[in-house]
Structure 1
Amino acid sequence: METCRTRGAGVLLPVSALPSPYGIGTLGNAAYRFIDQLHAAGQTYWQVLPIGPTGFGNSPYQSYSAFAGNPYFIDLDRLEEQGLLTQSDILKFDWGENPSCISYDKIAEHRLQLLQIAYENSNHLYRSDYMEFCKKQEHWLDDYALFMACKDHFGQCEWLKWNPDIKACDSSALMNYRILLKEKIQFWKFCQYQFYQQWNDVKTYANEKGIYIIGDIPIYLALDSSDVWTHPELFLLDNEKQPKAVAGVPPDAFSDTGQLWGNPLYDWERMEQTGFQWWKLRMACCSELYDFTRIDHFIGIVRYYQIPAGEENAIRGQWQQGPGAKLLHAIHEVIEPHRMIAEDLGVLTDEVTSLRKQMGYPGMKVLQFGFDGNPQNEHLPHNYEKDAVAYSGTHDNETVLGFFSVREEECKRACFYCNATDLEELPNAFMRMLYGSVADIAMLQMQDILSLPNTARMNFPSTIGDNWQWRLESEQFTDNIAEHMRQLAHIYGR
């Protein structure tokens, strides 16, 4: 299926939120069923959140690797079909009792135990496709597998607390630990082999059904990641490998102290000296995993907010110039510009908008943000441009129902604008407004399609707690809802 950005509609649903009897969404039967439902609903796009392995806090935007897949998403039934697990293996563990909520404690406690059993029952080492996979992905896979094996060896502590020789990636230490942790390294490679096999099968099926997959990549990496550990020269780190400065955003109308993300910043000067090789490898990987790729915090490519290390908030940060067009021209050598989407939410400058348009990337609009009383608000559909992906809300927002239930004035404006009689009608009215807009892509969160309250919210930014837990239940996305979406998509030429 040729990848071109056509006028269409889509659904934002993370893999983790797919229905599953095993505690978290996987790349199994529910993924295929969801694709069938999207097809029946006249949809063109399925947008997921980042699919990398998660650590503390379970945020998909804080991953152990920019290239690896989350082993939690490996489908257990598929492993059973391969003869690597038995049903009794799978059912002996408690995956949680609430089908609408992920119990990460239970997943973390049991999932890797099961994958270890599957690994021990496998003869993958002798398979030609496994050897081909390892060869193709060796530029990141060897380092990642050693990184994860070392985390196991050192009790899951971050790499900055490992023994000095392996912390520094000393060549003799690397060799010694590869020998010492050989079995664990092979286990982590096996997990990635299984993930990539299952992901590629799901993507192939989606494309056969006329569904494009939109991936999402964080602009920054977690400090505790294999990429930062093995390539410290590409980041602003001191001699002890600690960040000299960290990422975030300044104070604004939503936060008096700004947002302190804490991610290490890139050494863009050093990146440029390498021809942005690491970024090219990253985007080449995205080119294969996804049909389209959304770059989170696109603004940070033009200019980024640098906060001195050790600060308790983001007040004392300063803006610095980013690589801009130089980086984007480099990555266009491995991924076509029309397959990129810019997450350009925030305080936009003319420079950011100009670069996005110059590159041909669509930007983002969020209808939920449109009802402050200003008719020129860029998030209102009558102000949209064609090169846009228009959302009801994103993973960082309240649900439509939740947002307007506690904002009486905005609710009145939204109901009047969307011709909705009351709050309960707003989620469906939002769908109609987005579908009818000029924006190339209309995207709704599954929670808004189902008219769910804030108990289904995916993430509360700048908090560590009950985030990333919501899941779709198997009977919620009904045939009637899909048919309604299909009719609207047809009426509005999507």
Structure 2
Amino acid sequence: MARTSGILLPVFSLPSPYGVGSLGKSARDFVDFLRRAGQTWWQILPVGPAGNGDSPYQSVSTHAGNPAFLDLDLLAEEGLLTAEELAAVPAGDGRAVDYPAVNAARERLLRLAFSRADAHSRDEAAAFARDRRWLADYALYQAAKDYFGGLAWYDWPDEGLRRRQPEALERWGRTLERETAYQTFVQYQFQKQWTAMRQYANGQGVKILGDLPIYVSLDSADVWAEREQFLLDGEGRPAAVAGVPPDYFSADGQLWGNPLYDWDRMRADGFGWWIRRVERAGELFDAIRIDHFRALASYWAVPAGAETAKEGRWQTGPGMALVGVLTSWFPHLRFVAEDLGVLTPDVEELLRASGLPGMKVLEFAFSGPDNGYLPHNCVKNCVLYTGTHDNAPIASWEPSAAEAAYAARYLDAKTPEELRRRMLLAGQTSVADTFIAQMQDYLGDPGRTNVPGTAAGNWRWRMTSGAASDALADEIYQLTLDAGRCPPRNG
């Protein structure tokens, strides 16, 4: 496999004049930066509609796209919005996403755009929905959720709709026909803009590395539409939920609260739910990072109502029965196993049997010379990171005193700036087939994307306009070229 590298930057972190990154010019500009910098991969976070805490990992749909990412200028080019309407959109401070302001502005403008769409556009959106089983479920779920004032599906007052009884689905489908048409239109526009962005990226030699969260949200179209795939009681409530035991990030573990899968049920039909899910991901991404891969070997089940994740216990996952199905069904996709966290022999065996590249993190490496994340201990078949979206960028990294001293010796770094540059050099020149750094690491920006175990202030960091300069791209290119991770530029 060719040596490659890439940069991790969420879509919402792109600079734009409308308060949040989008799929139009800001995305194409970043692709141009990646091409100039010699990067093969643009790694992003999940792109579904954000849920609790604005988290992309708590989406209301594993299939739908986030309406906030729709590019308003592209809609204006179609005649669906006016220049005056765009001028009134709050720009924000350029450093952090103000989700209430962004979501309110997008909702208002997208409804205006829908009201102006001609019959041809609506017919195209309807045809798009007919080819995608998930979209009818999502559109009705979202329309009903809005109708009931944001209530979770298991609290909807109509029992027939909660239980998806045919008569209720038909009745509510008629009642909410215009709303479901609106939701369908939004997803059609998202797909159209995403496809154009991805084609542009691929044409520039840049591939999209997407993220597949291991779990889905309890209050989601996915669980409402196929609750039989999950371990729920008759009222749609879980007896146990997902999380992780105490680890590097939290002494109490992390209590995620997602419903657990009914793996016996899924295995019985050949993992059809997962096949449909990855098929959709393949419409968006060139490669997929399987988040929390270790749960496919064994997962942490926490009793519902527990105050912390410490009360959980390990349960056996599907292992190669699922991984083998996905890799054989989708040979054109590259999968990356996020095998971080508390690792046990069953996880290591599953990674070995799958042949997938695992992940290594330099910020976890400096405990001593035997640490497997150190560059001299890395294997080729892995993706090496400075840090993931859950880690601090190098500029705000706070290792222990012993780790800091070892890192300074190992990297021969006497100042924070030397540490940043030499950690990037160590990653680029390692034997790992792929090296990925957060954009903040190349910028020297201390802003964090996420602090695990905290509920507020996450998923907001944005790159300022002009930060992805030609000079920075040329600097990254030279480092990447010297490390043998990109070819020389033509001319």
Same fold (TM over 0.5): yes
1:235 aligned partner: 230
**Could you say what secondary structure the match of 2:299 adopts?**
strand
Aligned residue-pair number: 484
Q: Deviations over 1:229-253 (max 9, x none)?
A: 1111110101111011000111235
- 1:451 corresponds in structure 2 to 444
Residue 463 (structure 1) aligns with: 454
Equivalent-residue separation in structure 1 for 2:248 and 2:43 (angstroms): 29
User: CA separation in 2, counterparts of 1:151 and 1:366?
Assistant: 40
5+ residue gaps, structure 2, are: 486-491
CA distance in 1, matches of 2:183, 2:119: 12
Are 2:122 and 2:185, in contact at CA under 8 Å, matched by a contact in 1? no
Residue identity in the other structure for 2:411: C
- Determine which of 259, 267, 270 is the counterpart of 1:272: 267
Q: Which moved more, 1:418-427 or 1:272-281?
A: 418-427
CA RMSD of aligned residues (A): 1.4
Q: TM-score normalized by structure 2?
A: 0.96
Residue 431 of structure 1 deviates from its aligned partner by 1.2
- Which of the residues 52, 72, 77 maps onto 1:76? 72
8 Å Cα contact 1:283-1:334 kept in structure 2: no
Residues 338 and 361 of structure 1 are in contact (CA less than 8 Å); yes or no, is this contact kept in structure 2?
A: no
Deviation string for 1:331-364 (max 9, x for gaps)? 2343128610000001222221222222221000
* Whole-Å separation in 2 of the counterparts to 1:15 and 1:113: 21
Matching of residues 237-386 of structure 1 within 5 Å: 237-252=232-247, 254-336=249-331, 339-372=334-367, 374-386=368-380
Q: How far apart, CA to CA, are the structure 1 residues paired with 2:135 and 2:60? A: 12
Give the corresponding residue for 1:434: 427
User: 1:390 aligned to 368, 379, 384, which one?
Assistant: 384
The answer to whether the aligner puts 1:58 opposite 2:54 as a matched pair is yes
What is the rounded CA distance, in whole Å, between the counterparts of 2:52 and 2:255 in structure 1?
A: 17
Preserved CA contact (<8 Å) 1:55 1:63 = yes
Aligned with 2:25 (options 9, 22, 29): 29
The alpha-carbon deviation at position 413 of structure 1 amounts to 1.8
- After superposition, the Cα gap between the structure-2 partners of 1:232 and 1:370, relative to the gap in structure 1 and judged at 3 Å, is same
1:102 and 2:93 correspond: no
Q: What CA distance in whole angstroms lies between the structure 2 residues aligned with 1:124 and 1:140?
A: 23
Q: What is the CA distance between 1:414 and its match in structure 2?
A: 1.4
How far 1:263 moved relative to its partner? 0.3
Distance 1:241 1:25 in 2: 35
Instruction: Please state whether the residue corresponding to 2:397 is helix, strand or coil.
Output: helix
Letter of the 2:428 partner, please give it.
Y
Aligned to 1:40: 36
Residue 488 of structure 2 corresponds to none
Q: Secondary structure in 1 aligned to 2:173?
A: helix
Letter in 2 for 1:387: N
Aligned-partner residue type, residue 62 of structure 2: A
- 1:475 deviation in Å? 1.0
SS of 1:214's equivalent in the other structure is strand
- When structure 1 is superposed on structure 2, of 169-178 and 84-93 the one drifting more is 84-93
Name the aligned partner's letter for residue 430 of structure 1: M
1:239-274 Cα offsets, whole Å, 9 max, x none, are 111011000111235433211110000000011112
Using the aligned pairs only, state the percent identity.
45
1:340 to 1:131, Cα distance in 2 relative to 1, 3 A = same
In 1, distance between residues paired with 2:63 and 2:282?
12
Q: Which runs of 5+ in 1 are unaligned?
A: none
CA shift for structure 1 position 298? 0.1
Structure 2 distance, partners of 1:421, 1:260, is 39
**1:149 lines up with 2:143 in the alignment:** yes
Given that residues 261 and 462 in structure 1 are in contact (C-alpha distance below 8 angstroms), is that contact kept between their aligned partners in structure 2? no
User: Residue type of the partner of 2:271?
Assistant: F
Counterpart of 2:480 in structure 1 is 489
Cα distance between partner residues in 2 of 1:128 and 1:223: 32
Q: Describe the shift of the 1:479–1:399 C-alpha distance in structure 2 as closer, same or farther (beyond 3 A).
A: same
Aligned-pair distance for 1:329?
A: 1.8
Q: 2: distance between equivalents of 1:421 and 1:480? A: 25
